[in-house]
Chain A
Amino acid sequence: MTTLVLPSNREEGWRWSDLSQLPKLAQRQPTGVAPDDFQWIGTEREGPRLVFVDGQLDAARSQVGPLAIGPVDVTASDHPLGALAGRSGWKLKLGRDHAPHGLVQIVHVSTGAADHLAAEVELDVDAQASIVETYVGDGWANRLTGMRLFKGARLMLSRRLIGSSGFVSLTDRAEIGEGASLIVATLAAGGADTRLDGRCEIRGEGAYAEAAAALLARGRQRHDANLAIRHDVARGMSRQVWRSVADDLSACSVAARVEVARHAQKTDGEQSLKGLLLARSATINAKPELEIFADDVKCAHGATVGELDRHALFYLQSRGIDPEEARALLTRVFVADALDRIGEEAVRTAFYADVENWFGQSQAWVVPSEVEGRVR
């Protein structure tokens, strides 16, 4: 049995983290009971599907297709959670000009304990894929994903974290080649705490990297994200769109960084970090960072935290919309900046449905005696 060594809040990259439930989850035994509904997204062309229950492939309920299960070439020895994920898991390797037949869907079910899994996505020249990962359950799902995109390759990775409780930690390592495009869209709309870590390196000219995320938190939930995009070559473009929504006593924290190397001229990088407090007892931390060594770049960052517009709320209510629905409508608009980045309509629709569900569950989370500052 390995000892769980976790970082402390004294380390800058973990200052807003709350990993206190991880030791307990790591010691628990999984129930192994998977739900009947895996939240598959219906698409015109059904693609490969993988189901992992507590990190183990459920072969009977999977259609592996062009994916493979086994050793993967990804490491994150410098990352305390990523290093736990090991070096085996699922792999999608596509040759030149190849694409899977339809949407790749991967469901991770975590049944009460800790499970660790690695993954590797490698797209050769002009290959393309769209992957949706869905996280459900109430354990600790710890994942490490390596992504390598060669010239002109395109990857859309959409993740939805809709587990009822527990913890999801995702560590990404990405390298993007010339003219390639990587978009990672994440929705946290369940009851689990999260830690999202990423390091994305733009290594080919004209490459594009985008991270879009909507983090919804309530109760005493914690979402904590830390992403760095590094521009190593000229003419790269990156976009980061973070939308945090915090209710009750919850907290969302985002540290987003853009690094531009000395020779990465003509870089175009943008960060937009916005937070919405649904209650004044909630917390949102936003830390955009730019580190620029080149002198001919266009980089912008913005960070705002606010409440729902009271005038808009009253306007909606004056037309017959009840306060909860009005809040949901305005919040949905707030996170749309991030979720609209998802290209496929069926996926986008499913993610919006998750947002609606999150509001549908809101009553269960309200702590009336503690939440006096709720925006009405």
Chain B
Amino acid sequence: MLKIINLHASVDEKPILKGISLAIRPGEIHAIMGPNGSGKSTLSYVLAGRPGYEVTEGSMTLDGEDLLELEPHERSARGLFLGFQYPVEIPGVSNVQFLRTAVNAQRRARGEAELSAGEFLRVAREQAGALGFDMDMMKRGVNVGFSGGEKKRNEMVQMGIIDPRLAVLDETDSGLDIDALRVVGEGINRIMRKPDKAVLLITHYQRLLDLVRPDFVHVLAGGRIVRSGGADLALELEREGYGEMAA
């Protein structure tokens, strides 16, 4: 599904990613762990096409299509979803308005019929309910006045409504209390653990991986993947830290 080969990327001409190669097949969940400043968030932004993050070498394809040729909204329409580490507040635009615009823009791009207001609200209610997200909050401005945990929960509601094929979740567990972490973990499993979908889960900690068990764990350090393994690798990191891997 996602194939990254020798990816190099810079921000403000400073090299951050220095040769990442990674292949994710449908049905797989990959976790990326690593110390601060190792390039985890940069990788997520590069995948989503954030302006200012320049790919200087290498390639990345989604279902064989060159992501570098696609604008951020086109990548989204192809099924790529980025869960933000710091979701943005947009005063004046309600969650409902935002998401209906987004869902229908994607459907138009894929040549599908747009959802009516009624159809959209039914999906929104279903997803918000499953994540314990009050529908009143869906009527409020996007992330405006939300706590850190509510913002992350909102990201998951959005993911549920948009129903992507590949989710790149950047530290979705940060800012969550234990109960919220469980809800979010269950949400990821419910929405994304399917044979035709895949997840790239960026996290610092083992605790989310207890809930969303990864098939593969990669350690990112200094802009490169320095080690890959199975779910046990995360337990080892939890025990021993990044130590020499990050050196």
Contacts and interface: CB of A to CB of B under 8 A. Distances in A.
Counting chain A CB atoms within 10 Å of each CB, which of B50, B87, B88 scores highest?
B88
Contact of B77 (A314, A315, A320, A329): A320
A326 B73 CA distance: 10
Interface string A316-342: 111111110110011001101000000
A307 to B, nearest CB: 13
A322 B72 CA distance: 8
Given A320-B77, A323-B73, A314 B90 contact: no
Given A310-B51, A314-B51, A320 B105 contact: yes
A45 interface: no
A33 interface: no
Contact of A311 (B48, B88, B105): B88
A69 interface: no
Interface stretch (B33-41, B96-104, B198-206, B233-241): B96-104
A320 B109 contact: yes
Contacts of A319: 73, 76, 98-99, 102, 158, 162
A312 interface: yes
Contacts of B81: 318
A376 B51 contact: yes
Contacts of A320: 73, 76-77, 102-103, 105-106, 109, 162
A323 B105 CA distance: 11
A316 B143 CA distance: 13
B82 interface: yes
Contact of A317 (B71, B98, B158): B71
Contacts of B71: 317, 322-323
Nearest to A336: B92
B164 to A, nearest CB: 10
A320 B82 CA distance: 11
Contacts of B242: none
B202 to A, nearest CB: 15
B129 interface: no
B91 interface: yes
Contacts of A329: 93, 98, 101
A325 B50 contact: no
Nearest to A334: B92
Contact of A318 (B76, B89, B92): B76
Contacts of A334: 92
A321 B108 CA distance: 10
Interface in A332-376: 333-334, 336, 376
A315 B88 contact: yes
B95 to A, nearest CB: 11
A321 to B, nearest CB: 5
B120 interface: no
Interface residues of A, number: 22
Contacts of B92: 333-334, 336
A336 B92 CA distance: 8
A321 B88 contact: no
A314 B49 CA distance: 9
Nearest to A333: B92
B102 A321 contact: yes
A315 B105 contact: no
Contacts of A314: 50-51, 72, 88
B133 interface: no
Contact of B90 (A310, A312, A336): A312
Nearest to B142: A315
Contacts of B72: 314, 317-318
A312 B89 CA distance: 7
Given A321-B105, A325-B105, A329-B93, A315 B87 contact: yes
Interface string B188-228: 00000000000000000000000000000000000000000
B162 A312 contact: no
Given A320-B105, A320-B109, A321-B105, A315 B73 contact: no
A360 B132 CA distance: 38
B76 A317 contact: yes
A250 B212 CA distance: 53
Counting chain A CB atoms within 10 Å of each CB, which of B99, B101, B106 scores highest?
B101
B73 A330 contact: no
Given A315-B88, A316-B98, A321 B93 contact: no
Nearest to A376: B51
Contact of B88 (A312, A322, A376): A312
Interface in A273-326: 309-312, 314-323, 325-326
A322 B73 contact: yes
Contacts of B91: 333
B93 A333 contact: yes
B96 to A, nearest CB: 13
Contacts of A333: 90-93
Interface in A121-179: none
Contacts of B146: none
Interface string B15-40: 00000000000000000000000000
24 contacts: A309-B88, A309-B90, A312-B90, A315-B84, A315-B88, A315-B90, A316-B102, A317-B71, A318-B48, A319-B76, A319-B98, A320-B103, A320-B106, A320-B109, A321-B101, A321-B102, A325-B101, A325-B105, A333-B90, A333-B91, A333-B92, A333-B93, A334-B92, A336-B92
Given A318-B73, A333-B91, 9 more contacts: A315-B90, A316-B90, A318-B50, A318-B82, A319-B73, A319-B102, A320-B77, A330-B90, A334-B92
A-B pairs with lowest CB-CB distance, top 10: A333-B92, A320-B76, A320-B106, A319-B102, A317-B72, A315-B88, A317-B73, A320-B105, A322-B73, A311-B88
